[in-house]
Structure 1
Amino acid sequence: MSMFSAAFLLLLLLQAAAAAAAALAAAPAPAQPGSNCTTRCGNTSIPYPFGVEPGCYLPGFDVTCSDDVPPRLHLHGIRYVFDINLPNGTVGVYVQSVDVSIPGSPTQCGDYLTDNWDVVGVDIDRGPFSLSATRNKLVVIGCDVQVLLMGLDEDIISTCAAFCSPVAKNLYMVASPDCSGIGCCQAPIPAGLNVYLLQFRRFNGSWSGHQATVYVVDADRLSSYAPMDTLQATALPAVLEWVISKSPCQSNSTSPECRSSHSFCQNSTTFDVGHRCHCSQGYDGNPYILDGCTDINECEFPEIYPCFGDCKNTVGGYLCQCPLGFEGNASLPKGCRDVDECVDPEAHSCYGICKNLPGSFQCQCRQGTYGDPTTKGGCITIKNSISGSKIALVVSGCFILLLVALAAPFITRKIQLQRVKRLKEKFFKQNHGLLLEQLVSQNTDIGERMIISLREIEKATGNFDKTREVGGGGHGVVYKGILNLHVVAIKKSKIVVQREIDDFINEVAILSQVNHRNVVKLLGCCLETEVPLLVYEFISNGTLYDHLHVEGPISLSWDDRLRIVLEVARALSYLHSATSMPIYHRDIKSSNVLLDDSLTAKVSDFGASRYIPIDQTGVNTAIQGTFGYLDPVYYYTGRLTDKSDVFSFGVLVMELLTRKKPFIYRSDDGDSLVSHFDSQFGEGKLGDIIDPQVMREDNGLIQEVAALAVMCTKLKGEDRPTMREVELILENLHVKTHAPICGTPCNRDYIPAQVVTQEVSRQYTIEKEIMLSATYPR
């Protein structure tokens, strides 16, 4: 096959450009088509600027009507035209397919390879016509063939490949219906290039001598034809785009070619330079002839211009309104509503009895009167028409209405109070109020102090003013308020789900039995709302996280950090071993440790905590906590033990030593804070990770505290110490740093007996704890 045959497909479509360019230079444009111009060829309309006879078309837009039966319209050598669309600026044409024989020669491996064919390029940057890149696709039907679409510089700009099963016998029976690569493939035709080149390649040479059929197809019309597995047509529809002139629109969007008085010019986005004409909104027709754009009677096309009322055509538009007696949006189905004229009787001149009807109304004089009800005073009373019984009936009716009107506010108020009362009772039960009553049932005074009304909470927080928000954790938003002349913190749940409510009530149940100087005090709760509310003592100095992770090299002193670690250990030791039933916090981290004005630590946020029966060492439960602090054994097994809090405590100690954030820290090797700290400790390189401020303020205890942190974060829970043991170790270190100055050499390991024997944590019976918690003001 010659190079010309391979390029034939694109030449068929683009011959129109060359012929139109020659015609454009040869003939002047007629001002108006003549009256004897042919306007139809077979079933195809021929609108101006297209035409058959000289003087009936603009240069480059001449077409030919054949003598076939039926007649067919030809455009510069293209087989025939089936559609000319002026608004879109397109021409629909049928294009002959190209059958390409693909020769091959076996290689040493037994496969077939094709020779690459260099195809003559086609210049499309001439004349008013261009192959539409947005509408057309390149479709290839064949087996084991690849088609490359290239620019003049031989860069591949589009390609597709079609494959067939080796057992297939018929080429067309193996083409997939969606033309996705099985026996058939399709590729877009990019715009913006002056030259296109086609190149064919073969592979999988088990079949020799096969042909590939190449089409240019209008993608919008492709789906209306038979599936590709039965496609054997010799011609398919394609789309050409055109411009009326190769010059741009003038600055005021006008053009000499736009001759109709209701037309405008618009630049083409397909051609580098050029424009088309369009009829203005509300007009339709041919913008290229005088008075070609005519007003559209929108009322004749309700499917396009919906109107469900009275439609009135206007110049360049239409008016759609509801019928008399109706109002609303007539452009919507059932958008017109009947007007109730009786609502405003004076506006509709009815001074008698008004009765509304669909689209109208009825007006008549009242019983006992006669005359004209449409005029004021037009109804005249009939003498002696009002009997004594009617007067008595009217008076009694008025008296009853007066009683109902006077009683209505009291009845409404009573109903509202009953509704509010029932709603509070519902929320009280929903929020486990019965559990709280059971907890405080041993002392009525405690119950009265612990339960706070919603009215008091709203007054304390300014009705939950956003400016009163001071923070929030994983279990709620915290407001600052003043309750009975005391500053308090009030926590409100973020999400109204049962799990959050259970967490809040869990916190009430735990904190109501806890009384320790290093645990935040619960002052009371409110269960009258859908979201439970908890009232705590207000800790004014923020969280340990806020104080530790500040900008700059200086943070909390080493002495303060060591004391805070000891206070947190005392609180956890108390929760684990000194309460009537062990309590595991489950979410120990620096943001859950509050600091008061003297930097005393207060452990907070017990929403995730759990009671553990005293005869059990752990319990299986859903995973809760914060990544970076979370015990890996608990995370992977779901079994919560006292050693889970020990692990989180060890991470907290590392955070205080290093000022690194456990939940985001990664070393250069990608290790977490725990892994990196453990390796640095084992290699004797603690100085590389310890906070420089701590190194400067070291009192000789860094190594011992670091060893304790490593011990607490052992992988196996049984290798970790208990919180009681951790507390004693830290107490011993604290005594070392505060040992008295001796007149003779002192033994730093000496601990006074009274220090060892004193209680490390404040411990009370559960009854005394509840009594003490109730003494705090709310």
Structure 2
Amino acid sequence: MFSTHILLPNQIGASGGAAAGVLISILCILLCKRRRTKNHSPSSIHLVRDSRFETHYVDTQLSSADYKTHIFSYAELDEATDGFSPSQELGDGGFGTVYKGKLRDGRIVAVKRLYENNYKRVEQFMNEVDILSPLRHQNLVSLYGCTSRHCRELLLVYEFVPNGTVADHLHGPRACEGVLTWPIRMQIAIETAEALGYLHAVEPPIMHRDVKTNNILLDAGFHVKVADFGLSRLFPTNATHVSTAPQGTPGYVDPEYHTCFQLTDKSDVYSFGVVLAELISSKPAVDLSRCRNEINLANMAINKIQRSELAQLVDPTLGYDSDWVIRKMITMVAELAFRCLQHDGDMRPPIKEVLEVLRAIESVANGAGEDEEIDVGVKDDAGMPSNSAALSPNSVTHKWVSRSTTSNISE
């Protein structure tokens, strides 16, 4: 009636082994989950939900005390720019498109949308955030924040500067307005030099590496806001140069940097010399419609100065031929531009000295410097004016020769 089932020893061993294996597997799974919860991803990116239940990333590196940068969600900036509408476009640059936007708090902003989200773009994105976040200067554009570097798109949010760029007003779509009088151009030169002087003086120093009229914005009062720090470099304290592949915009790149791959503070000075030449002439830094040896404005300016042909370089609408004070000021700015454009970086003045000279030149308009000679010539190592006529002219209206400048600066 009753059936008796006897387990053999080998059956008992197999059943016990299977049970032990299942138990060990469960324990391993629980241990892994515990470790994952305790040791979160090293990227420090946390997925959270805001009050609108919109999932977004919080980048704790960018929002740390070192950066003090506000992190915007993509949805907020998409809304601010009407879905990045073409009607909101302010302009295109080498690395992205800039859109006008309005934040939820009512602020009008400029949103830079980088073209590609690859490693190089992330590096430039982080570089600009790193450079701009701690800086505070009235002549530098303010960074309001950005998206996380892990966001679907890399977006930078700046203060909106309403009056376009210096390039727009000198030789671009707004040149016909004729609003950049000589006093305003002097103001632009001084304020740009002040911004560069600030960058070169902070610790560690910052080399902009892309100083050009397209990166000098103007507010409603035509005050300067230097922008676009994507190529900028933090400079090691007490270093004379940084060895790096040349980057920048054709027509503005320091020829010594281009040849020797050595970035110095004088590289920004060279680029600023091109800006001074543009302010004098209203001509673009590069123009393929000009004759071969004048395609590059730096070449053109140097040649005109050496040949005592400054009048052929100067924008005739500035009053060079009709106003003696303006003529004197433009002549001195041309002399300063010549120094900045020297092929040998050691022959260029530091930006601090450039600023001092510009302020002295501006005093001529106020009558303070009318009866005194303002030295814009090359100084020796002791800071005293050089007596060498071959290196510094008394006036660009007299012919002279520079030993350090060739007729063909990088084109």
Please, what TM-score do these two structures have when normalized by structure 1? 0.39
State whether structure 2 residue 254 is matched by structure 1 residue 631. Answer: yes
The aligned runs of 1:49-448 (5 Å cut-off) are: 421=47, 434=61, 437=64, 439-440=66-67, 446=68
Change in CA separation of 1:717 and 1:428 when aligned onto 2, cut-off 3 Å: farther
State whether structure 2 residue 128 is matched by structure 1 residue 507. Answer: yes
Partner of 2:308: 684
Contact persistence 1:643–1:722 (CA under 8 A): yes
Q: Which letter does structure 2 place at the counterpart of 1:472? A: D
Equivalent residue in structure 2 for 1:524, among 142, 145, 164:
145
Equivalent residue in structure 1 for 2:364, among 716, 719, 736:
736
State whether structure 2 residue 109 is matched by structure 1 residue 488. Answer: yes
Q: Which letter does structure 2 place at the counterpart of 1:718? A: D
Contact persistence 2:217–2:225 (CA under 8 A): yes
State whether structure 2 residue 268 is matched by structure 1 residue 642. Answer: no
Partner of 1:670: 293
The aligned runs of 1:718-729 (5 Å cut-off) are: 718-729=346-357
CA-CA distance at 1:533 after TM superposition: 1.3
CA-CA distance at 1:556 after TM superposition: 1.5
CA-CA distance at 1:554 after TM superposition: 4.1
* Cα separation, 2, equivalents of 1:585 and 1:729: 21
Partner of 1:701: 329
The aligned runs of 1:441-480 (5 Å cut-off) are: 446=68, 450-480=70-100
Change in CA separation of 1:740 and 1:647 when aligned onto 2, cut-off 3 Å: closer
Any idea what SS the aligned residue of 1:670 has?
helix
CA-CA distance at 1:564 after TM superposition: 0.3
- 1:633-686 Cα distance to aligned partner (Å, 9 max, x none): 111222111011000000111011111111225654534321221122112111
CA-CA distance at 1:538 after TM superposition: 0.3
Larger radius of gyration: 1
Contact persistence 1:478–1:491 (CA under 8 A): yes
The answer for unaligned runs of 5 or more in structure 2 is 1-45, 375-411
Contact persistence 1:633–1:639 (CA under 8 A): yes
Change in CA separation of 1:676 and 1:536 when aligned onto 2, cut-off 3 Å: same
Contact persistence 2:117–2:154 (CA under 8 A): no
CA-CA distance at 1:469 after TM superposition: 1.5
* Cα separation, 2, equivalents of 1:510 and 1:421: 27
- 1:408-452 Cα distance to aligned partner (Å, 9 max, x none): xxxxxxxxxxxx9399999766xxx52552514xxxxx45xx222
* Cα separation, 2, equivalents of 1:576 and 1:551: 31
* Cα separation, 1, equivalents of 2:247 and 2:56: 29
- 1:265-311 Cα distance to aligned partner (Å, 9 max, x none): xxxxxxxxxxxxxxxxxxxxxxxxxxxxxxxxxxxxxxxxxxxxxxx
State whether structure 2 residue 190 is matched by structure 1 residue 563. Answer: no
CA-CA distance at 1:707 after TM superposition: 0.4
Change in CA separation of 1:499 and 1:736 when aligned onto 2, cut-off 3 Å: same
Larger helix percent: 2
CA-CA distance at 1:534 after TM superposition: 1.1
Partner of 1:574: 198
Contact persistence 1:736–1:748 (CA under 8 A): no
Contact persistence 2:81–2:100 (CA under 8 A): yes
Any idea what SS the aligned residue of 1:726 has?
helix
Contact persistence 1:507–1:606 (CA under 8 A): yes
* Cα separation, 2, equivalents of 1:556 and 1:525: 33
Partner of 2:278: 655
Any idea what SS the aligned residue of 1:700 has?
helix
CA-CA distance at 1:627 after TM superposition: 0.5
Partner of 1:603: 226
* Cα separation, 2, equivalents of 1:669 and 1:496: 39
Contact persistence 1:501–1:531 (CA under 8 A): no
Contact persistence 1:553–1:693 (CA under 8 A): no
Q: Which letter does structure 2 place at the counterpart of 1:726? A: V
CA-CA distance at 1:749 after TM superposition: 5.8
Whose RCO is larger (CA < 8 A, sep 6+)? 2
The answer for unaligned runs of 5 or more in structure 1 is 1-419, 441-445, 751-778
Change in CA separation of 1:558 and 1:481 when aligned onto 2, cut-off 3 Å: same
Partner of 2:164: 542
Q: Which letter does structure 2 place at the counterpart of 1:679? A: N
Any idea what SS the aligned residue of 2:157 has?
strand
* Cα separation, 1, equivalents of 2:116 and 2:206: 25
Change in CA separation of 1:553 and 1:638 when aligned onto 2, cut-off 3 Å: same
CA-CA distance at 1:703 after TM superposition: 1.2
Q: Which letter does structure 2 place at the counterpart of 1:439? A: D
Q: Which letter does structure 1 place at the counterpart of 2:141? A: V
Equivalent residue in structure 2 for 1:614, among 226, 237, 244:
237
Q: Which letter does structure 2 place at the counterpart of 1:508? A: V
Larger strand percent: 1
Contact persistence 1:626–1:663 (CA under 8 A): no
Q: Which letter does structure 2 place at the counterpart of 1:728? A: E
Contact persistence 1:739–1:748 (CA under 8 A): no
Contact persistence 1:736–1:749 (CA under 8 A): no
CA-CA distance at 1:466 after TM superposition: 2.4
* Cα separation, 2, equivalents of 1:584 and 1:687: 33
Any idea what SS the aligned residue of 1:534 has?
strand
Q: Which letter does structure 2 place at the counterpart of 1:590? A: T
Contact persistence 1:655–1:661 (CA under 8 A): yes
Please, what TM-score do these two structures have when normalized by structure 2? 0.71
Q: Which letter does structure 2 place at the counterpart of 1:575? A: L
Contact persistence 1:586–1:608 (CA under 8 A): yes
Change in CA separation of 1:661 and 1:733 when aligned onto 2, cut-off 3 Å: same
CA-CA distance at 1:738 after TM superposition: 2.3
CA RMSD of superposed structures (Å): 2.7
* Cα separation, 2, equivalents of 1:512 and 1:562: 29
Identity across the alignment (%): 37
Change in CA separation of 1:618 and 1:438 when aligned onto 2, cut-off 3 Å: farther
Contact persistence 2:256–2:345 (CA under 8 A): yes
